[in-house]
Amino acid sequence: MDNTLQWFLSMPGTSYLWLAFIGKSYWNKGFWMHHLNTNYLDFELVTEGEMTVQCRGQRYLIPAGSAVLIPPGESKLSANGIGGCRKFYLGIRGLILNNNLTGMSLDKVCVLNDFHNPEFDSLSAALWRMTEEKNLENIREYCAKVYQMLLLLSHCAVQQPHPEELQRATTFICHHLADPLDLTEICKASHCGRSTLQWQFKHYMNSSPIRYLVETRMRYAVTLLENTTLSIKEIAQKCGYADPLYFSNTFRNHCGQSPRAYRKLIVYSRKDKI
């Protein structure tokens, strides 16, 4: 499913700031899109599943409920997650954007974790409606709302609390759940020292790198138990555990029951709904 709205105009003022597009789409797992030399700021809000963004040699994982700001230039977007990826997106282009990328902190990729913003919801709904209507009498109001959106996204980028090292660490962990990771590997991938990275996890996430790793593995295990028929041994391996018994004990400590018992509970609950 792809529902993209566009409205192109060659009128005085519209070159200063305009929406390149606004839309909603669903991508099947494995679907990807490579953007070359774009001239717009790309905003992507993932509502279901996961999406990966590759830009300027870095890789970012965008889970459901989070958003990402991608500056003009080259980037690659791909759908992760077992069920694919559902997202809302919009693009802003124009001279005002081009001349203020750095000053508005929009010149680099910014992941907006747990993105919930009522002002954004109101503005995006208004822009969607006005793009559908394409009423020439509303051009001034349309440009004003695009500018409001740009200022809002700039504010979100400035206020985003997670440092780049922490973003790289969490993304690396999510992409290497099956590998035998330790703190040294995570620090190396995030280009950050041990003490600094540990402080960032504690300060921003009330966790530690290893604790975050284990919790992410357990969430992935739950997803596999609920949505696949893989054996417990296979799930353990995909979650980075060579010993199925150790995996089961870890799962029990985090979820209150064994993987096998959890799967049975899910199966029974689904039968009750039928």
Domain that holds residue 210: 164-273
Residue 247 sits in the same domain as residue 146: no
Number of structural domains the chain divides into: 2
What band does 30 get if pLDDT is binned at 50, 70 and 90?
Answer: confident
Q: What distances in angstroms separate CA 162 from CA 39, 104, 215, one per listed residue?
A: 26, 17, 19
At 35, list the tokens: 């953007």
Structure tokens belonging to residue 56 = 């300027």
CA angle 240, 246, 250 (to 5 degrees): 85
Average pLDDT over residues 83-110: 90
Dist CA 231 CA 254 (whole Å) = 19
Tokens of 216: 């992410």
Give the burial class of 256: count Cβ atoms within 10 A of its Cβ; 0-12 exposed, 13-18 middle, 19 or more buried: exposed
With a CB cutoff of 8 Å and minimum separation 6, the contacts of 6 are 20, 21, 131
Q: Say whether pLDDT at 55 is over 70.
A: yes
91: left (phi over 0), alpha (psi -120 to 50) or beta: beta
Closest CA to 170 of 50, 25, 69, 41: 50
179-207 tens-digit pLDDT: 999 999 999 999 999 999 998 888 777 78
Confidence of residue 256 (pLDDT cuts 50, 70, 90): confident
Task: Determine the pLDDT at residue 163.
Answer: 83
Domain boundary among 124, 159, 194: 159
Q: Same domain for 19 and 127?
A: yes
For residue 274, what pLDDT is reported?
A: 46
Residue-wise pLDDT tens digits, 33-50:
999 999 999 999 999 988
Instruction: CATH number of the domain at 47, please.
Output: 2.60.120.280
- For residue range 218-236, list pLDDT tens digits in order: 988 988 888 888 999 999 9
pLDDT, one tens digit per residue, over 116-125 is 889 999 999 9
Residue 127 pLDDT class (50, 70, 90 cuts)? very high
Token pair recorded at residue 185: 């590997």
Task: Name the pTM for this structure.
Answer: 0.64
- Domain edge (last residue) among 139, 159, 179: 159
Clarify whether residues 154 and 188 are in a common domain.
Answer: no
Same domain, 27 and 77: yes
